[in-house]
């Protein structure tokens, strides 16, 4: 009986610890997330965009980049420096984001 109670309590802690953001680092701004992934982790631009959109809470929101590719492009136009990514990189990343978000 003790084992069952211990297993239940342990499971509850694991579920609570996972939460909605899977323990991912939160960022106050999208630009900070993007800069961290491109400069510190050396991810390619499109991959960094997708990772920040999907895997990190940005200012408390996750996923941060909206429901559609158009929402994503609008979000990035407002939250990503114009020198950070080309229009083609943003379009490709937003399309990838929408596909992966739907998985």
Indicate whether 1 pLDDT > 80.
no
Task: Let me know if residue 93 belongs to a domain.
Answer: yes
pLDDT of residue 22: 63
Q: Containing domain of residue 96, as a range? A: 24-101
Tell me the whole-structure pTM to 2 decimals.
Answer: 0.76
pLDDT of residue 95: 96
d(CA 6, CA 98): 40
Task: Let me know if residue 34 belongs to a domain.
Answer: yes
- For 16-72, the pLDDT digits (tens) are 333 344 678 999 999 999 999 999 999 999 999 999 999 999 999 999 999 999 999
Task: Let me know if residue 51 belongs to a domain.
Answer: yes
Q: How many domains does the chain have?
A: 1
Cα-trace Rg, the chain: 17
d(CA 35, CA 41): 9
């Amino acid at each position: 009986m003790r084992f069952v109670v211990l297993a239940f309590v342990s499971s509850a802690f694991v579920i609570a610890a996972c939460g909605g953001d899977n323990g991912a680092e939160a960022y106050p701004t999208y630009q900070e997330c993007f800069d961290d992934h491109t400069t510190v982790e050396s991810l390619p631009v499109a991959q960094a965009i997708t990772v920040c959109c999907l895997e990190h809470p940005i200012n408390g929101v996750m996923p941060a980049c909206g429901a559609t590719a158009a929402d994503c492009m609008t979000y990035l136009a407002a939250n990503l420096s114009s020198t950070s990514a080309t229009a083609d990189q943003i379009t490709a990343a937003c399309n990838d984001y929408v596909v992966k978000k739907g998985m």
